[in-house]
Amino acid sequence: MNTFEYRDGSLFAEGVALSAVAQRFGTPTYVYSRAHIEAQYRAYADALAGTPHLVCFAVKANSNLGVLNVLARLGAGFDIVSRGELERVLAAGGSADKIVFSGVGKTRDDMRRALEVGVHCFNVESIDELERLQQVAAELGKTAAISLRVNPDVDAGTHPYISTGLKENKFGIAIADAEAVYARAAALPNLNVVGVDCHIGSQLTSLPPFLDALDRLLALVDRLAEQGIRIRHLDLGGGLGVQYRDEQPPLAGDYIKAVRQRIEGRELALVFEPGRFIVANGGVLLTRVEYLKHTEHKDFAIVDAAMNDLIRPALYQAWMEVVPVQPRDGASRQYDIVGPICETGDFLAKERDLSLAEGDLLAVRSAGAYGFVMSSNYNTRGRAAEVMVDGDQVFEVRRRETLDELFAGESRLPE
C-alpha cells in the first residue's frame, strides 16, 4: 500500500500536500501516514485470524506516542527492549499484558517495573538473566512468564549489522544449549515457561531463513515436550523486509500462511515482532535544499536534514529514495544529497539525478522505521518535528526540539 503519491505535480501524504506540511511545521520534519501503518498491521493480524496470536510492534522501529497510539487502538501488542519503551507503550494506551520484553541487557529495575505492570512474557537471552529474573520475581512475590530467545544459527542473508541469528552474534542462547537452560528455567519457582522465541535479523527479503529457523524451533519444542516442558507459544520475532529500492520481500500473508501450515495440528499460539514492516514505508523525512554546490568533480545538494536526523545511509550504506516534493522541468544533474554536519559521512543519498533549485523540498522515502528513533543532537542540532497525517488532517505528534531544550540539563562549573 502506498499512501505517498503525486497529485497534480505535488507529493501528498494521504490527503495532505507535503508542501503544506513544510509550510506549517518547517523542515526537517518526519511525516507519517496513519492509513499506511494501519494497513500494514492488518496485513499481519488478518493473516493470523483464526489462530491465537499476538502482533507485537517492535517499538524500537518508531517509538513516537502517536504511532504507538494508532497501533494500540487496533489492539496491537508491543515488543520492547527497555524500561523507557515500556513507559512509552503505557503512555500511548497500550496494554501491559500484550507486551513482550526482549533485549540482552535487562536491568533489575527493568524487570521490577515489567513485573509490576504484568507484561505478557520476558524473552530471556542468557542463563544469568534467567537467574536474575527469578530473584527479582521472588522479591516481588510474582511469577514471570518466560520464553528463551534461542539462536537457531541460520544466516538471514542481510546486512551484517542487522543480522542476529548466527552463532557469532551476541543474541540469544545457542540452540544446542537450549534444552539444558529450559530445564533450569522449569526448576525455578517464580518462572513460568510459556514460549520459545527467536529473531534472526532485520530486512529479510526471502522466506527460507524464516522457515529454517521455524523448523529448528519446532524440533526444539518436540524435544522439550519429551522432557515434560510444554511450550504454548512461538515468537518468531520481526525481520520481514520492505521495499526501499527494488527488493521483492515476501508478502506478510504468504509468510504467515507458510508458518501456519508448518504448525498445523499443534496447540501453539503465534507471536510476531514486526517493526520495519509496519512503519518504514509509512513515513518520509521532509527536508529543504539550502544550497546547491557545484564543484569540478561533483554536484552537491546541501539540505537541512543530516545524519543526525537519519543515520541509516551513513551507518549501513542504506539506499533511501529521495524525491522532489514538487518536481520541476529542466535539465537534471547528478547530486549527492548531503547535510550540514562536519563529516564526510554526512550524506542521505549519493549520485541521484534530480533537477533542483535552492529552496526546493525533498522527501526521503521509507523513513518511518529506524529514522527519528536513531536521531541525535550531534553538532547541537535539535531533533526534527514529527507529524501524523490522517486523511486530510495533520497532527503534530512531536514538536521540533528547541535550542533551550538541548542544553537544559547541562551546567557550568561553580565560580
Q: Is 28 annotated as a binding residue?
A: no
Q: How far is the CB of 203 from ligand LLP (least distance, A)?
A: 6
Q: How far is the CB of 277 from ligand LLP (least distance, A)?
A: 6
| Cβ-based neighbour number of residue 50 at 10 Å | 7
Nearest to 78 by CA among 65, 64, 95: 95
Pull the grid cell for residue 46: 488478518
Q: How far is the CB of 312 from ligand LLP (least distance, A)?
A: 5
* Interstrand relation of 385-390 and 393-398 (parallel, antiparallel or unpaired): antiparallel
Q: Which is nearer to ligand LLP, 12 or 372 (CB)?
A: 372
Q: Is 30 annotated as a binding residue?
A: no
Strands in 87-158 per DSSP E: 99-101, 121-124, 144-151
Q: Is 343 annotated as a binding residue?
A: yes
Unique residue bearing C-alpha cell 522465541: 197
Nearest to 38 by CA among 75, 74, 8: 74
Q: Which is nearer to ligand LLP, 56 or 361 (CB)?
A: 56
Q: How far is the CB of 18 from ligand LLP (least distance, A)?
A: 23
Q: Which is nearer to ligand LLP, 58 or 348 (CB)?
A: 58
Residue 312 CA to residue 176 CA, distance in Å, equals: 34
Q: Is 276 annotated as a binding residue?
A: yes
Q: How far is the CB of 333 from ligand LLP (least distance, A)?
A: 29
Q: Which is nearer to ligand LLP, 289 or 320 (CB)?
A: 320
Q: One-letter amino acid identity for 71?
A: L
Which residue of this chain has its Cβ atom nearest to ligand LLP in the complex? 238
Residue 187 CA to residue 43 CA, distance in Å, equals: 39
Is 198 among the residues known to form the active site? no
Q: Is 103 annotated as a binding residue?
A: no
Q: Is 139 annotated as a binding residue?
A: no
Q: Which is nearer to ligand LLP, 94 or 239 (CB)?
A: 239
Residue 244 CA to residue 159 CA, distance in Å, equals: 14
Q: Is 41 annotated as a binding residue?
A: no
Residues that bind ligand LLP (CB under 6 A): 58, 61, 79, 102, 162, 199, 202-203, 237-239, 273-277, 312, 316, 370
Pull the grid cell for residue 376: 541525535
Helices (H), 197-279: 208-226, 252-263, 276-279
Q: Which of 56, 121, 198, 342 is catalytic?
A: 342
Residue 23 CA to residue 83 CA, distance in Å, equals: 36
Pull the grid cell for residue 390: 490522517
Query: How distant, in Å, are the alpha carbons of 291, 304, 337, 352 from that of 299?
Result: 11, 16, 9, 10
Binding-site annotation, residues for substrate: 276, 312, 316, 343, 370
Binding-site residues sit at: 239, 273-276, 312, 316, 343, 370
Residues tagged active-site: 342
**Numbered residues of the known binding site for pyridoxal 5'-phosphate:** 239, 273-276, 370
